[in-house]
Amino acid sequence: MKRIILTCLALTVLMTPYVTAHAQSQTLDIRPKAERLTSVQLLSAFKGVTHDGAYNFNLEGLAGAHYLETHRDDSRVEYRESGRHFDGVWTIRKNMMCYTYAGDGLGGGCFRVYRIKNCFYFYSSTFIERENELDQNYWTARSVKQGEEPLCVDGMS
């Protein structure tokens, strides 16, 4: 029994750095380590591309919800989450990704987008952009191009 307890304790100690290194919650301001995307960069990163995204991250860095968002070449967008499907339009305005969806099921809006490695972080334009914001979530969602593994998490530890 003592050996089992010691083994569990050792595994806990060994795994703690792994969990900490991969945790990334929305309370972490990634902007100092990220690149703010311009309109040209946004067009290149999103036009004709499906993004696999997540949001509602907890303090341990686990996402509460996942979505797929396909940005068609003709500015149409398809958003899929939890069996729901929404159609809309995507545009780029003042270096921000903007979305408008049909109906009342999904709100749209504009987002400042930052990139770390292959991860894209969305900051809602409803929040005024300022340095050293405290006591609020920084980014609204994080995505990668469909089929890619996020490489940004290790760089955030």
Token pair listed for 44: 């290149």
Q: pLDDT higher for 8 or 107?
A: 107
**For residue 83, what are the CA distances in angstroms to 100, 130, 145?**
20, 36, 20
Q: DSSP class of residue 8? A: H
Burial class from Cβ neighbours inside 10 Å (0-12, 13-18, 19+) for residue 130 reads exposed
Does this model's pTM top 0.85? no
Q: Which residues pair with 36 in a beta bridge?
A: 114
Q: Quick check: 18 and 24 in contact, CB under 8 A? A: no
| 3-state class (DSSP) for residue 51 | strand
pLDDT band at 40 (very low <50, low <70, confident <90, very high): very high
pLDDT single digits (tens) 94-142: 999 999 998 877 888 999 999 989 999 888 888 766 665 444 557 788 8
**Domain residues of the chain, as ranges?**
2-156
Give the architecture (CATH level 2) of 2-156.
Beta Barrel (2.40)
Report pLDDT for 12: 31
